[in-house]
Amino acid sequence: MSEWHTFADREALDHSLAAYIVSKLALGIEARGAAYLVVSGGSTPVNLFSLLSASHLDWKNVVVLLADERCVPVDHQDRNERLVREVLLTGKAEQAQFLSLMPTPDDATVNIEALSSLLSSLPRFDVVLLGMGEDAHTASLFPCASALKDGLTTDEGALITLPKTAAHARVSMSRRRLQAVDHGVIHITGETKKTVLERAGERGDEMRYPITAFWGPSGFDCWWAP
């Protein structure tokens, strides 16, 4: 079952979570020779990414992926990959390998079959770091997207989603692929999102609250600060 990890402030949260992630990746490298880290975009993980980039780890044996991506050019301000490259994959972490969900950077279409095949060929992830919107979406599994049911049930590794309340088409890892992980984390801040996650857990409606696909019995822990 999921657990809460609560901190007095965001700085304490980010430092503790960075140390936790590094420790789990180090265990993966020790056991298998490589570790896989899945991250999410948005403003919440920016400071965490900076801390990770400065952390001592055998980064050349770490593979970094995104849980989802907006179908925009690689230099677009809304591109998650841009944030990862500019903040996380710097300093000590610049040696990490990055696998893009959009291998052709400026192509607005994604060969979803090839991507799903690639993702399915990868081993279990060591750490998956998910965020959550105030509508309870996570990755690009939006409650308003017609593809949500497919994202929650498909055996494929990825899918295209078209959320009605957010800009841009998205490519997102599926629930099944994201759940194939040793250590799942939901990283949120602020009272509003805490209330949303609590409500989602009480109601357990995945179509209304997609985050519940990972919170609760699925065992992703929440790391939260005001």
Beta bridge partners of 99: 65
- As a whole number of angstroms, the distance between CA 33 and CA 36 comes to 11
Residue 119: which of 166, 89, 154 has the closest Cα?
A: 154
Q: Tell me what pLDDT residue 107 has.
A: 58
Q: Tell me what pLDDT residue 32 has.
A: 97
Q: Tell me what pLDDT residue 167 has.
A: 86
> Averaged in consecutive runs of 10 residues, what is the pLDDT profile of the chain (226 residues)?
97 98 98 98 97 98 97 89 97 97 67 92 98 98 95 96 91 98 98 98 96 95 98
Domain coordinates in residue numbering, the chain: 4-225
Which tens digit of pLDDT belongs to each residue from 111-156?
899 899 999 999 999 999 999 999 999 999 999 999 999 999 999 9
Q: Tell me what pLDDT residue 75 has.
A: 85
| Strand segments (E) across the chain | 4-6, 35-39, 62-66, 68-70, 97-99, 125-130, 158-161, 170-173, 181-189, 221-225
How deeply is 3 buried, as exposed, middle or buried, from its count of CB atoms within 10 A (0-12, 13-18, 19+)?
Answer: exposed
Q: Model-level pTM?
A: 0.96
Does the domain at 4-225 match CATH 3.30.43.10? Answer given as no
Q: Tell me what pLDDT residue 122 has.
A: 98
